Amino acid sequence: MSEVRDGLFYSEEHEWASAAGGQVVRIGITDHAQCQLGDIVFVELPQPGSSVNAGESVGSIESVKTVSEMYAPVSGKVVRVNESLLDQPEIVNGDPYGAGWIMEVEVEGDVDTALGKLLTADRYRELIE
Amino acid sequence: MKPEKALIFELSRPGRIAYSLPECDVPEVDPSAVIPVGHLRSEPAALPEVYEVDVIRHYTELSRRNFGVDNGFYPLGSCTMKYNPKINEDVAKFPGFAKIHPYQPEESIQGALEMLYTLQNDLAALTGMDQVTLQPAAGAHGEWTGLMLIRAYHESRGEGRTKVIVPDSSHGTNPASATVAGFETVTLPSDARGMVDLEALRQAVGPDTAALMLTNPNTLGLFEERIEDIARIVHDAGGLLYYDGANSNAIMGIARPGDMGFDVVHLNLHKTMSTPHGGGGPGAGPVGVKSKLAPFLPKPVVGLHPDGTFYWDEDRPQSIGRVKSFYGNFGILVRAYAYIRTYGPEGLRRVSEIAVLNANYMMHRLAPYFDVPYPGVCKHEFVLSGKNLKSAYGVRTLDVAKRLLDFGYHPPTVYFPLNVEECIMIEPTETESKETLDAFIDAMIQIAGEAASDPQLVLNAPYTTAVKRLDEATAARKPVLNCSC
């Protein structure tokens, strides 16, 4: 059974998001998502500085099975991406909630409001059951 | 089988020769006299020097590692890997087809032109379309051609429609073709039964809708029962309907895309019409259209003069232009023509009936052993899910596919369509005997049993192939793209 970590916020497209200080939200894909994808071989990251809109594609993840789009769970500006994934995409498989984070987005307005629009851990558990 | 690991280059020994040429009977020319210095080799090419017997053994050994419909069952869902009757090859070798040149005058190739003209009409009749181009060289090429026709049609009416709608179960080529043709794609979710969600479609269409691309039966092997409603919704919004003919093997002589409301259709002759498939082609993806789109077809098409002679119709001022050199993959068109004429209308209907019967037989025999996400009656193909094997024994669909290699089968399509977890997609086609179907089913049942009793056996498969389990993740992450020999 995949891990759903309490305290994070989740999207229906299987991304997680959490407050990372100030206006910044850290984003990754869930354990369920990496498990479904299988061995990840490439992560296409957005350009730092680019604007993203919640629900829109911000990059893609390629596994041996398929190529999947990543969708931004919140709107804002990309301030940092996890460049270590370019050489070692398998980190997403091994530690999706930790070292396998994908990007950080600076939201406009209140962080809690942006995250409040997402699913709680319990709601996400129901979704993937 | 003795694994042959050496490359032909590694077999090379200086001075060995596998050919003998006759004495040169024309004056020798020094290459440096006719080729600019910058393009001349400074040293000879490093070609392998081997005996004829080494060449023959090396490539015969490699050819035995190939798998094709001539040496085994190939139930690759969505690909229609049917047996290709050898009469097609005989006909393609007729001198009137094989020994002609595309620049020959029309009057000297009337037979070939008549064949193309008849094939255009046969495919139009089969799909319910008004006119057909034979130029596109593959399915995706047909999709792109069809979308360019749709673009030209909308533009001729002064409408700049920019969006193409594709269902989430569609072939990956559909959104790709739409993007290459300059459209934006909109993905449409399927409903719980795997069909187009009509409410979602109503929400998705609008004044910017250029077309909906659909396969019917769809990628799950299910017939879109509400296709007429779907057509009405798209047409009312001013859009057109594109039919991806990948699954035509289910409906020949039974239902026609033109009657369902489609405006543009492509057929994969290398699937439905038994021309060679796999190994990179050549294929053929003819496109049929309703008359309102006919003026935009690629030129030339083959026309018929009132006096009964055939000609290249180049006088098509609104044509989108040529989409393939000369007239498409001519030799493939000959094979498809031979197939269609061998069967005739009744025979083609029978092809589809047996293809559907075979798929249903397999699905119902396999249903007790695998999860069937869309039970009921399927068309020419069906999907199973391996999710129960994965959760209970850690055996994934990929492992089942690898284990099938040990039984001498080409595995079915796996992990497609994307909306089915651990998907296994099986298309038996009509050309297989009941014994072949049963033997494959028995192998699948045995593997399901092995997954429970001895999962490691399945996880480490295959055992009988020239190379064992490949490390696909490392191959994709750190590909070795050059030979270090």
Mean pLDDT of B311-338: 96
Residue B79 has pLDDT above 50, yes or no: yes
Q: Which domains does chain B have, with CATH numbers?
A: 86-343 (3.40.640.10), 350-468 (3.90.1150.10)
Residue B103 has pLDDT above 70, yes or no: yes
| Lookup: tokens for B392 | 């209970």
Sign of the Cα pseudo-torsion (B136, B141, B146, B152, in order): negative
Distance between CA atoms of B232 and B239, rounded to whole angstroms? Answer: 10
A1: nearest Cα among B83, B269, B387: B387
Hey, which residues does A119 pair with through a beta bridge? A10
Of B396, B421, B476, the CB nearest to A41: B476
The pLDDT value recorded for residue B1 is 44
Mean pLDDT of A25-52: 94
Residues 6+ apart with CB under 8 A from B319: B295, B296, B297, B298, B299
The pLDDT value recorded for residue A61 is 95
CB contact under 8 A, A64 and B476: yes
Going from the C-alpha of B397 to that of each of A53, B146, B173, B383, B413, the distances in angstroms are 35, 35, 23, 12, 10
The pLDDT value recorded for residue B34 is 94
Distance between CA atoms of B124 and B131, rounded to whole angstroms? Answer: 6
Mean pLDDT of A7-30: 95
Q: Contact at 8 Å (CB) between B271 and B239?
A: no
Q: Contact at 8 Å (CB) between B153 and B131?
A: no
CB contact under 8 A, B473 and A90: yes
On average, the pLDDT of chain A sits at 94
Distance between CA atoms of A28 and A88, rounded to whole angstroms? Answer: 15
Interface of A with B in 91-120 (CB under 8 A): none
* Strand residue runs (E) in B91-208: 131-133, 163-167, 184-188
User: Best of A64, A88, A128, A129 to disrupt the B interface by mutation (most B CBs within 10 Å)?
Assistant: A64
* 3-class secondary-structure state, position B157: coil
Of A41, A65, A66, the CB nearest to B477: A41
Q: Contact at 8 Å (CB) between B472 and A39?
A: yes
Distance from CA of A3 to the nearest CA of B (A): 15
Interface of A with B in 2-41 (CB under 8 A): 36, 38-39, 41
Mean pLDDT of B166-180: 90
Mean pLDDT of A13-38: 94
Distance between CA atoms of B442 and B58, rounded to whole angstroms? Answer: 35
Residue A127 has pLDDT above 50, yes or no: yes
The pLDDT value recorded for residue B483 is 67
More confident residue, A47 or B190: A47
Of A36, A39, A66, the CB nearest to B473: A39
Domain boundaries, chain A: 9-128
Residue B485 has pLDDT above 80, yes or no: no
Distance between CA atoms of B250 and B353, rounded to whole angstroms? Answer: 7
Mean pLDDT of B45-67: 91
Q: Any idea which of A21-30, B37-46, B148-157, B451-460 has the lowest mean pLDDT? A: B37-46
Hey, which residues does B229 pair with through a beta bridge? none
* Class in CATH terms, A9-128: mainly beta
Distance from CA of A99 to the nearest CA of B (A): 18
The pLDDT value recorded for residue B417 is 85
Residues of B with CB below 8 A from A90's CB?
A: 473, 477
Residue B44: burial class (beta carbons within 10 Å; 0-12, 13-18, 19+) = exposed
CB contact under 8 A, A39 and B472: yes
Mean pLDDT of A107-117: 93
More confident residue, B473 or B455: B455
Question: For chain B, what's the residue count?
Answer: 485
Residue B279 has pLDDT above 80, yes or no: no
pLDDT tens by residue, A46-86: 999 999 999 988 999 999 888 888 999 999 999 999 999 99
Residue B84 has pLDDT above 50, yes or no: yes
Residue A66: burial class (beta carbons within 10 Å; 0-12, 13-18, 19+) = middle
Hey, which residues does B12 pair with through a beta bridge? none
The pLDDT value recorded for residue B472 is 85
CB contact under 8 A, B415 and A90: no
On average, the pLDDT of chain B sits at 94
Mean pLDDT of A21-27: 95
Count residue pairs from A and B with Cβ separation < 8 A.
23
CB contact under 8 A, B473 and A64: yes
Kindly report whether the global pTM for this prediction surpasses the value 0.90.
no
